Structure 1
Amino acid sequence: MLGSYDAESGSYETAGTNFDYLSLLSGEPYPAEMDRPKIFFPCPKKKLLAYDCLWLLGDIPLVSQRLANFLVLKAGHHIQLLKPTSIAANGEAVGDDNYIVNAAQAISAIDHSKSVAERSDKGSILYFNEIWLHDTAAGMGEIARERDSGDLLISQELADAMIEQKFKGDKGLGFYIAERSFTPYKNQA
């Protein structure tokens, strides 16, 4: 249940547009001049509509209208909601309102003394083999992107409120430990 940006399975691009999914990992407002993507899921429409939160390639959330309204109330100043050009499930158009959530702020939360990164010849981080996060990070707010890894972070308070409202996602709420294995948060897998 992972959405792509073109009819081709696993595509990170929408053909014929200037859309760049990396702009959604930067922790900055979505560029006004950039096109909105087309979204494709390889599942029946009914299955897609059963969830409040699904994931797109690049760890980018696509949320239902109900979850979008909730996020605006709880974290509105930390996010942008972007309406995709279209959404299709197994080739069938999905008419319900769903939104891409863009975390519009970036924070530094990685403990570089414990984390292991693969670096370019010039020393810039290409990706992390192991990530350790600090317990607290300045400027976190409710939702943010981690500046160096692009990971989406949400506060414990927001996670608790989402659980209380019984939002349903295909992955559940959780966190990734250093070995990058998923651990459910409060049995929300």
Structure 2
Amino acid sequence: MILSWKAPIYHSETLLGSYDAEIGSYETAGSNFDYLSLLSGEPYPADMDRPKIFFPCQKKKLLAYDCLWLLGDIPLVSERLADFLMQKANHHIQLLKPASIAANGEAVDDGYYIVNVAQAISAVDHSKSVPELSDSGTILYFNEIWLHDTAAGMDGIARERDSGDLLISQDLADAMIENRFKGDKGLGFYIANQSFTPYKNQA
């Protein structure tokens, strides 16, 4: 089974990271950083700056978790989870060290890494899914989405080519659960079958 991996539904907004020293910022001031580059399923551009990350919570609260989320449903993972992902899916991910991380103005020196997935696959079941199309026929988003149980090129982790969803295999998700990695309200795993259903109470 292929799962969607994104922020849990009811996770704390104070644990949602932005890309500058203000809540809700998608840009890092004075930088060429573009968060959309982290949704493309391509290698991170070599000439692009790493972003500054800001969380509006206390540092102690942030450090309790292995899996945090940045705007755009992009995971920020602890060093422990980063090492695990490199062991299991190193061919398809890049771990990017942010320029800096701050929690309520306090510097976070502990190792956290942005997960960039450098592989895109087609996994949406278009016979069941309901897309919203632009005037030119381009898919904007899905009102209802179903994923195939398997897809060519799916090996641990990937980006979905049409929806932009971050995908994770059931085997890799189960291994993360079994290793007791911690995220606020769960690790954010969903079954995409019309709507998003939490997988093993992880969202």
TM range (shorter): over 0.9
Specify the code of the residue in structure 1 equivalent to 2:30.
Answer: G
1:158 to 146, 161, 172: 172
Question: Hey, what's the Cα distance between the residues in 1 that align with 2:191 and 2:59?
Answer: 29
In the other structure, the counterpart of 1:56 is: 70
Q: Report 1:15-94 matches (<5 A).
A: 15-94=29-108
Q: Which structure 2 segments of 5+ residues have no match?
A: 1-14
In the other structure, the counterpart of 1:119 is: 133
User: Does the aligned pair in 1 maintain the 2:129–2:194 contact within 8 Å?
Assistant: no
1:175 to 181, 185, 190: 190
Q: SS in structure 1 opposite 2:116?
A: strand
Q: Quick one: percent identity of the two aligned structures?
A: 81
Over residues 79-100 of structure 1, what are the superposed CA-to-partner deviations in whole Å (9 max), with x where a residue is unaligned?
A: 0000000001111110101000
Q: SS in structure 1 opposite 2:81?
A: helix
Question: Hey, what's the Cα distance between the residues in 1 that align with 2:64 and 2:201?
Answer: 19
Q: Which structure 1 segments of 5+ residues have no match?
A: none
Shift of 1:117: 1.5
> Cα–Cα, structure 1 residues 92 and 182, in superposed 2: closer, same or farther, change >3 Å?
farther
Shift of 1:179: 5.2
Over residues 103-132 of structure 1, what are the superposed CA-to-partner deviations in whole Å (9 max), with x where a residue is unaligned?
A: 110000011121111111111111121111
User: Does the aligned pair in 1 maintain the 2:129–2:144 contact within 8 Å?
Assistant: yes
User: If the length of structure 1 is used for normalisation, what is the TM-score?
Assistant: 0.95
Specify the code of the residue in structure 2 equivalent to 1:152.
Answer: L
Q: SS in structure 2 opposite 1:17?
A: coil
